[in-house]
Amino acid sequence: MSAMIEVSGLDKTFGGVHAIEGLSFTVDEGQVYSVIGPNGAGKTTLFNLITGFYTPTRGDIRLNGEDVVGLDPNRLAQRGMCRTFQQMQVCMNMTALENVMLGRHLKLRGNLLSSVLRLPSLRQQERDCRDRARALMEFVGCGDYVDADAASLSYGVLKRLEIARALAAEPRILLLDEPAAGLNGTETAQLDELIRKVAEQGVTVMLVEHDMKLVMGISDRLLVINYGRKLAEGTPDEVRNNPDVIAAYLGN
Amino acid sequence: MLKQFLKWRLSGLIVLAFITLSIPFLMDNPFYFDMATQIAIVASTVVGLNLLVGYAGQISLGHAAFFGLGAYFSAIATSRFGWPSVIALFTGAAFVGLLAWIIGRPILRLKGHYLSMATLAVGFIIAIIINNQSGWTGGPDGMSVPPLGIFGWELSTFSVYKIFGFELQGYVAWYLFSIVVLLLAVLVAQNIVDSPVGRALRSIHGSEIAARTVGVDTARYKSLVFVISAVYASVMGSLFAHFTGFITPAIADFDHSILLITMVVLGGMASPMGVILGAVVLKLLPQFLTGFQDYETMIFGLILMLTMIFMPKGLLPTMIRILKSRLGARAGGDA
């Protein structure tokens, strides 16, 4: 099993604040790898560093063995990385289906000229793209909202729509930032099942999540961070019994 | 049947063609045709600007400068160097496109007010250059432009043409030509919108972060749409110069830029037919306000403000929504 993501000696400071400090870990291909920690521990900052929205102050990030520090998010997408957001990023000026079709951006061929002339190959490609997007919306469980405007959808549907869009890009690694936040029990159970199905397809999944039941059940490995530093790492059982983790979450 | 037609992506274009081509049967006054041709040319410009503002969500407060550059390029190349009009038009468009790319690359990194300020400055600089290079452009006095020559034909508003035994006045011929250009402008814009390129552009408006996450090179697409809209403006500027036969730096100045952007906002952002309606309304309005000429800019400002407050989606989309809800209510009542 090869390493999908290797992080070593990662540092990120905002002014005087050390958001991430000396963080090192490895995510193997095909794993479900979760990052947990109290609010403000630096989980989302870590995701923003890995996905290219922030540049590290120090340290090294490797994707499939390639140094990817300083690469823009769209360059990382070309290398098979995709993510969802805690603060959802959905294009409200488009329909739900178009949002998912957008996910296939890099899989589509054609340039401005073929668009202007509306070549038959382009139209065929659009039809295929539409079919695949529709299938993906069924897959994540929002098949009822294919023709709806994104702006008219509820929070829970939008959360799944973001996952469908990410999956449309056929990523090798998918980063989900608090996908269960704001979902009710039934919806969380559905999400649990969805992440399992995605992982079964061989996609590496990195997860930031507060729902412990979900995280402990689904993860192969866990990383616990606090104040930007690594507190513990290991299998769910190892982490659950780690005294430092218990102290951080429950107090001494 | 009607429903299917309305759902078709080119239904607006067909309606537009029907309306515009029936106009010659309804009026026979050279002044009206002059007005209608000017509207068609400026509407085509706005259709291009709409790709940038309405779809990609970027702003340009200096777009008249590209219109002016196209106009002056054609004017100078044809009158001083004797270039054929068509070649001057396309070379001008290529030049303006290149310029827009060079300018767009750095300034499109800016967002919101900062981008507004930068495009405003670009517009001012270009307008000042046109004004001051009087050796080439005639300065504030303007310059005359020869009629448009198309493959040996000369399209002039003062000529009379004979086609299939019919006599066609020059001003009617110009009108029909400008309508063909407008329909082509709408078709090209619509094809871009209904493609992966268009989806990428709209995603920049919707969420730039989402767009980048799925691999859209947002910087490249912003430059691309800036260039496309500048080329639209340049081509229409060239045609405008040949049509009116005389141009002044006013076509490149700030007021004209504001007029163009107001047409987009008033008519309906991201609605091709809407922005054309915006162009029609704002071009015709001064004709009805001749008594209030001193207050024209104020009235434009008021219109823009009221639109933003009461119809943020613009004139046409709001009208369609009201119509739909009325029809929907009636259908519901029947059932």
| For A97, nearest residue in chain B (alpha carbons) | B199
**CATH code of the domain covering residue B140:** 1.10.3470
Asked if residue B12 is part of any domain, the answer here is no
**What is the pLDDT, as a whole number, of residue A252?**
57
Which one of B188, B205, B217 has the shortest CB-CB distance to A74? B217
Backbone angles phi, psi at B156, to 5 degrees: -130, 145
Which one of A77, A115, A129 has the shortest CB-CB distance to B214? A77
**Token code pair at residue A153:** 């959808």
The mean per-residue pLDDT over the stretch A117-133 comes to 94
Global confidence as pTM: 0.93
Asked if residue B130 is part of any domain, the answer here is yes
Distance from CA of B195 to the nearest CA of A (A): 6
Residue B111 CA: distances (Å) to CA of A165, B62, B305: 25, 15, 22
Cα–Cα distance measured from residue A49 to residue A59, given in angstroms and rounded to the nearest whole number: 11
- Judged against a pLDDT cut of 90, whether residue A234 lies above it is answered with yes
- What is the three-state SS of chain A? CCEEEEEEEEEEEECCEEEEEEEEEEEECCCEEEEECCCCCCHHHHHHHHCCCCCCCEEEEEECCEECCCCCHHHHHHCCEEECCCCCCCCCCCEHHHHHHHHCHHHCCCCHHHHHHCCHHHHHHHHHHHHHHHHHHHHCCCHHHCCCEHHHCCHHHHHHHHHHHHHHCCCCEEEEECCCCCCCHHHHHHHHHHHHHHHHCCCEEEEECCCHHHHHHHCCEEEEEECCEEEEEECHHHHHCCHHHHHHHHCC
Domain containing B91 equals 30-287+295-328
Contact A82 B198 (CB under 8 A): no
Cα–Cα distance measured from residue B24 to residue B175, given in angstroms and rounded to the nearest whole number: 9
Answer whether A105 touches B (CB < 8 Å): yes
In chain B, the number of structural domains is 1
Cα–Cα distance measured from residue A129 to residue A108, given in angstroms and rounded to the nearest whole number: 8
User: Quick one: DSSP state of residue B130?
Assistant: H
C-alpha closest to that of A97 among A45, A36, A138: A138
C-alpha closest to that of A31 among A57, A2, A54, A9: A2
Backbone angles phi, psi at B146, to 5 degrees: -70, 160
Distance from CA of B225 to the nearest CA of A (A): 10
Asked if residue B192 is part of any domain, the answer here is yes
Q: Which of A47, A74, A106 to mutate to test the interface with B (most CBs of B within 10 A)?
A: A74
Asked if residue B34 is part of any domain, the answer here is yes
- Judged against a pLDDT cut of 80, whether residue A144 lies above it is answered with yes
Contact B212 A72 (CB under 8 A): yes
Asked if residue B126 is part of any domain, the answer here is yes
Domains, chain A: 1-80+171-252 (3.40.50.300), 94-170 (no CATH)
Asked if residue B228 is part of any domain, the answer here is yes
The mean per-residue pLDDT over the stretch A33-41 comes to 91
- Judged against a pLDDT cut of 70, whether residue A1 lies above it is answered with no
Asked if residue B88 is part of any domain, the answer here is yes
A70-117 residue pLDDT tens: 999 999 999 999 999 999 999 999 999 999 999 999 999 878 999 999
**What is the pLDDT, as a whole number, of residue A251?**
67
Q: Which of A53, A78, A88, A91 to mutate to test the interface with B (most CBs of B within 10 A)?
A: A91
| For A76, nearest residue in chain B (alpha carbons) | B215
Predicted confidence pLDDT, tens digits, chain B (335 residues): 777 787 788 889 999 999 999 988 888 889 999 999 999 999 999 999 999 999 999 999 999 999 999 999 999 999 999 999 999 999 999 999 999 999 999 999 998 899 999 999 999 999 999 999 999 999 999 999 999 988 777 888 888 888 777 888 889 999 999 999 999 999 999 999 999 999 999 999 999 999 999 999 999 999 999 999 999 999 999 999 999 999 999 999 999 999 999 999 999 999 999 999 999 999 998 888 777 778 877 887 888 888 889 888 898 999 888 888 888 776 554 43
C-alpha closest to that of A6 among A24, A33, A31: A24
| For B227, nearest residue in chain A (alpha carbons) | A112
A200-232 residue pLDDT tens: 999 999 999 988 899 999 999 999 999 999 999
Give the HSE-up count for residue A199: Cα atoms under 13 Å, Cβ half-sphere.
Answer: 21
- Judged against a pLDDT cut of 60, whether residue A7 lies above it is answered with yes
Are B57 and B286 in contact by the 8 Å Cβ rule? The answer is no
Task: Give this complex's ipTM.
Answer: 0.92
Instruction: Give the H or E element holding residue B246.
Output: strand B246-247
Distance from CA of A249 to the nearest CA of B (A): 32
Asked if residue B333 is part of any domain, the answer here is no
